[in-house]
Each structure stands twice: as structure tokens, then as C-alpha cells.
Structure 1
Amino acid sequence: MKIDEFNKALDRGEISPLYYFHGDEPHLMERAVKRLMDSAVPPDFRDFNLDVFYGNECKGDEVASVAQTLPMFADRRMVLVKRAGDLSAAALEILASCVADPPPTTCLVFMGEKVDQRKKFFQEMKKKGELVECKRPYENQLGAFIREEAKGLGKRVEPAAAEMLVYLVGNNLGELSTQLEKVALYVGQRETISVEDVRGIVSDTKVESVFDLTNALGERNVVKALRSLATILRDGEAPLMLLAMIARHFRQLWRVRDLMAQKVPQQDISRLAGINPYFIKGVMAQARNFSASELKKVFEGLYATDLALKGGGAKRPTLTLEKLVMDVCGMGSR
């Protein structure tokens, strides 16, 4: 079950006795579980009917015993197990029996990262409950997420402002939501959030340096790029996440360069490449800095850097990424 299917089922008032939320997007997971909690157990009765366990601290029989307990003054009890991936094999074996015959008056919920359907626990969960995937959205889905978040804050976001927010923050939904709340507070009573609003607030965060780095690489400005890289790594950005942002930027440059070579008009390049018109002029200027063969070498360098960071380079990410920066910026030198 996808997260949107879960939300639609909840909108219809359908609550399963069993859920296992899993995936790589904790923000979606936390929000989905909170929404389930709000639907399953009224706030006034949670002291009696809500029990929270942690997989690294609890035993299977503890969870099973509480799950079998009847609710007090309400129709349903909710039992939540966080960090379910840390449950021991013995605990999962005990809970597999509980999952195979779920108590009708209990909503038993697990939160973990991965699902192993070879295990009996997950086989029973799939038969009697719901496996809800909380997957990080693709880039082309982030605009819709930002618009919905803004709507909930009583605001409207200009398309270019949403694009700028993605540029600065990336696809971390929790961070996107937090930064959007800051911008909404900043604009006050004004209904529309602009690019200038986003840059004025989000520019104070470390993700601004990622935006500066990718632009410096596109401009082949080695001094600016190395300075931005040092700032980013000093602030604790994950090297592989940073590499993904650089790769994203150069995929855009390659696509734009290809369209320019076909003599496609600027407004059509913006549409076909999926780049907001606010940014397209700058991206086109950067695309002119690289030939097709040079872009091919850039991606060979990105692939080599990815392998190095996942291997021995993980112990010296600064040197590995500095080499990439210098290779990209110096590739056109004679």
C-alpha cells in the first residue's frame, strides 16, 4: 500500500487492526502515524488507550500482552512500536502469532525502515494487515508537496519560489516543511510566497551553500566552488547527498545543452527540461560552458566519485570531492 492509498482509506474511515509503516521518508511516516492516531484514538482517552514501545527496548510478549488488552472508555486501543527494525528475532516470532490473529479492538502499528517478507512476521502482516510504504518522492512530485504544505499554512507559493525551495533544500520533506513554515511566518499576512521570500529566509541555512556550489561548478569557478564545498562539509552535509545534488544539476545542464543544440526556443527549453523560467537563463549560460564530450567526462567523474565515497574514499570525503570539483572546473583548460 502506498501512502496516498493509506490516506484515501483513512478518509473513508477504514482503519485496519494492523499496520507496518516502512520506507526512507520519516517525515511522511511520522505524519501518517499521527493521522492514524488522531482517527483511531480520541485525544481525551489516550492516557488509557495508547501504548508506545521501542523495538530496541521491548520484548515481544510485552507488546502482545498490551495488544490483547481491551480499550477503556473507547472503541479502540492503539499500540505503537517505533524502531520496529530493532525487534529481536525472538520478539518477531512471538509477535507473528499475535499478527496472525489480531485483536479486533486494537490497532497495532509498527514503524521501521525495511520489510523482509521472508520472515513469518511479515508474511502474516501482509495477510492480515497493511504494509504502508513511505517512499521519498521524486523531484517532479515535490512541487505538489510544497503547494499542499503552503495551502495548509494559508499561503500560495509562486512556481519559481517552490523551485527555489527545492534547489536550496533538496528532497528532504521534513526540512522542506520546516523551511516553508519559516517563510510563511516571514511573509506575515501576505498570501503569496515569492522567490525573494524564499531566498531571504532559506539563504541562512547550510543548503544555500549547495546551491552556490552547483552554480560555481556550472560556471567553472574553481575558487568559489572549493570555498562552497568547504563550507558544506564543515556544516556536516552527507557527502553522498551532496554528490546527488551535483549530479542533478549536471543532468539539467546536459538536457538544456541538448535542447539548445536543437535550436529550441528558450521558453520551450524551460518547459521541456522542467526548469522554472526564473532560472532558465542562468542554466543556459552554464550549459554553454561545457561541450557534449566534457559533460560525458563530468558524469564519468561523478560515477568514479560515487564509487570512491562508498569505498575507501568514505574515509577522506573532502579530498575525494575536491578532486571532483577541480576536474569539473579545469576540464576545459588547454
Structure 2
Amino acid sequence: MDVKTASKAIRKGDISPVYLLYGNEKYQMKQFVDLLKEKVVEEEHRDFAIISYDLTETPIEVVVEDAETAPFLVPKKLIIVRDTSVFAAGKDNNKIEHRLETLLTYMDNPTDYSVIVFTVQAEKLDERKKIVKKLKSDASVIAFAPMGGDDLVAWVHKRAAEREVQLAAGAAERLIQFTGTGLQSLAAEIDKLCLYAGAQGTISSADIESLVPRNTEQNVFAMVEDLANLRLDKALSIFYELLKQKEEPIKIAALITRQFRIMLQVKELAGQSYSQQQIASQLSLHPYGVKVAGDQARRFRPEQLRQLLYELGELDYHMKTGVVDKVLGLELFLMKMGAGASI
């Protein structure tokens, strides 16, 4: 079951007795749990009817016992259980022994007054385990993976629209460049920009550039984007701002190298007919980062990217050995690239 289908069912009152949520997209997972809180437990009952456990501290049979115990003074209760190893793939470092057969038995006849939600902060479940197979068969198992590039842009527009604010063309992409792909950070910046724009207002790229702070990695990401589009003045402006912030030129060069390496890897994998999601998984990147790297890589031939990586390697060696002044060497590289980076 996907997130949208499960959320729609919950809003209609079709609530499963057991949920297993897994994945790396924590913000979406939290939103889903918040929806369950809203629909399962009335606000005035939440202090008594929402119970939390951590399977690194509590045996799973205690969770099952709680689910089987009738709620006190409230009609229904929601039991939220955090897990990092019981259901996940990988090494189990949990020192607590869990009697998983108690959960298997409970799932054959769950109570109608308890909803159990297992939240697993892991990319994959261990499909070999009997309990995971049982959950996938009888419970609502939902994956929370990072959004694809287009979905993430659409999410930004939707978040702003909910506050009666629009984003100008290219503004959503600019915001992601500045803030990164984390939904929690994006949500906070969108809310701030919406307050600035006001109801029925429009957020422009210029608004984002003046109001949204960027860390070093995102500054370098934006700089590479400007270089790829031959916007040398903007790229140099970012570079000089980083120097004012006392960023080390060698670190800046390393981040530039990383982005060009990703561009080459994405270009080569795309040439082998890998999908955006497959490339993201292969390179351990967010799908939006793959999308942007792919767009940037279209402006270069593979041999150009290899040559740029070679020159960056030489620059790194010369900077570290004192052959060239670090600031001057990187500045000359940016100028050279910005003057002739087209395909």
C-alpha cells in the first residue's frame, strides 16, 4: 500500500489495527502518524490514549499486552512503537529478546480498540523474517521513500498553495537548491516565505535568494548550476561570499569535484537505461539530486566531464602542495570553466 492510498482510507475511517511504516523519509512518516493521531484519538483523550514504546528498551510482548488491555476512560488507543532492528534488514544489535510469536498470534485476532503503529527508520525490511511476511500479508505496510524530482517540486507548490501562495516559475527548484531535499527544512522555509508574500502573494526566485540561508554544500551546488548555465558572474559571487564566510578553498574545490563526479556517473548510468530511482539507489543519492545532476550533465559530453575532473584533481594537488595560491587557483578554474563550459 502506498502513502496516498493509506491516507485516503484513514480519512474515510477505514483504519487498520496494525501499521508498519518504514523508510528514510522521516517528515512524511511523522505526518502520517499525526494523521492517525487525529483520526483515531479525540484531542481531549490524547494524554491518555497515545502510548509510545521503543523496541530497544521494551520487549514486543509488552506492546502486545498493552494492545490487548482495554483502554481506560477512552474508547480507543494508539500505540506507537519505534524500531530499528526487529523488522529491518541488517545486523540486529538489539540486546532485548522479543517473543515475536505473541505479535503473530495477536494479528490473527486484533482488538478493535487498539491501533499499533510500528515505525522503522530503515530503507528495507528483512523479507526473510516470518513476522515481516505476516505483517505484509495481514497489516498495512507502507514505505516512505524520498520523493522523485518532479514529485518534490510538486510538493513544494502544494505546500505553498495550502497557504494561498504561489511560486513563480523556477522558484520551487531554486528553493530546493538553497534548502536541500529534506522535507522538514523545506516546510519551514516555505512557511517563512509564505508569511513574507502574504495571502494571494507570489514567491519569486529573488525572494528566495534574499531570504533563504544556504549552507556551504548548497552554495556550491548553486555555483555549479550557474557554471553549467554559463552564469559566471553569479558563480563568482557565490564563491566570493563563501570566502567571506571563511570557507576553505580546498573544501570548496572538493565539493565542486563531487558534483561533477555525480554528473558523470548519472550521465553514464542514464546512458545504460537506468531510471532516476535506480540511479538514486545505485549512487545513494536523493532522486531530486539525480534529476538536477542529469539536467546539468546534458550540457557536457562525457569526455568534457572527465577532463574537468582531471583538472580539478590537478588543482587539488597544486593547492595542497603550495604550487598555486588556493584562492587564485580556484578562481582561475571557475573563470576558465565559466567562459567555455558549453557542449
TM-score of the superposition, structure 1-length normalised?
0.68
Shift in alpha-carbon separation, 1:299–1:207, aligned structure 2, 3 A? closer
Secondary structure, counterpart of 1:85 in structure 2: coil
Matching of residues 300-319 of structure 1 within 5 Å: none
- Which residue number corresponds to residue 277 of structure 2? none
Output one character per residue of 1:187-224: Cα deviation in whole Å (capped at 9) or x when no partner: 23552211122112113555651344424654688997
Instruction: Quote the residue 1:128 is aligned against.
Output: 138
**Would you say the 8 A contact 1:9–1:15 is kept in 2?**
yes
Computed over aligned residues only, the root mean square deviation of the Cα atoms, in angstroms, reads 4.4
Cα deviation digits, residues 277-308 of structure 1 (max 9, x gap): xxx9xx79x94xx5552135558999x9xxxx
2:98 aligns with one of 91, 94, 100: 91
Q: Which residue of 1 aligns with 2:49?
A: 49
138, 143, 148: which one aligns with 2:153: 143
Q: Distance in 2 between matches of 1:162 and 1:216?
A: 16
Structure 1 position 110 matched with structure 2 position 99:
no
**How many corresponding residue pairs?**
282
Q: Distance in 2 between matches of 1:132 and 1:226?
A: 46
- Report how far residue 73 of structure 1 moved: 4.2
Partner of 2:220: 210
2:116 aligned counterpart, secondary structure = strand
CA distance in 2, matches of 1:92, 1:183: 50
Distance 1:167 1:103 in 2: 47
Say whether the 8 Å CA contact 1:210–1:232 is kept in structure 2: no
After TM superposition, the structure 1 = structure 2 runs for residues 236-315 of structure 1, keeping only pairs within 5 Å, are 243=258, 247=262, 287=299, 293-297=303-307
1:176 deviates by 1.2
| Residue number among 206, 229, 239 corresponding to 1:196 in the alignment | 206
Residue 184 of structure 1 is matched in structure 2 by 194
1:131 is displaced (CA, Å) by 0.7
Structure 2 contact 165–199 (Cα < 8 Å) conserved: no
Q: CA deviation at 1:38?
A: 0.7
Q: Percent identity?
A: 22
Question: What residue in structure 1 maps to residue 40 of structure 2?
Answer: 40
Residues 16 and 130, structure 1, Cα contact 8 Å, conserved in 2:
yes
Unaligned 5+ residue runs, structure 1?
Answer: 256-273, 305-321
In structure 2, runs of 5+ residues without a counterpart are 87-93, 271-290, 314-325
Q: Quote the offset at 1:53 in angstroms.
A: 0.9
Q: TM-score under structure 2 normalisation? A: 0.66
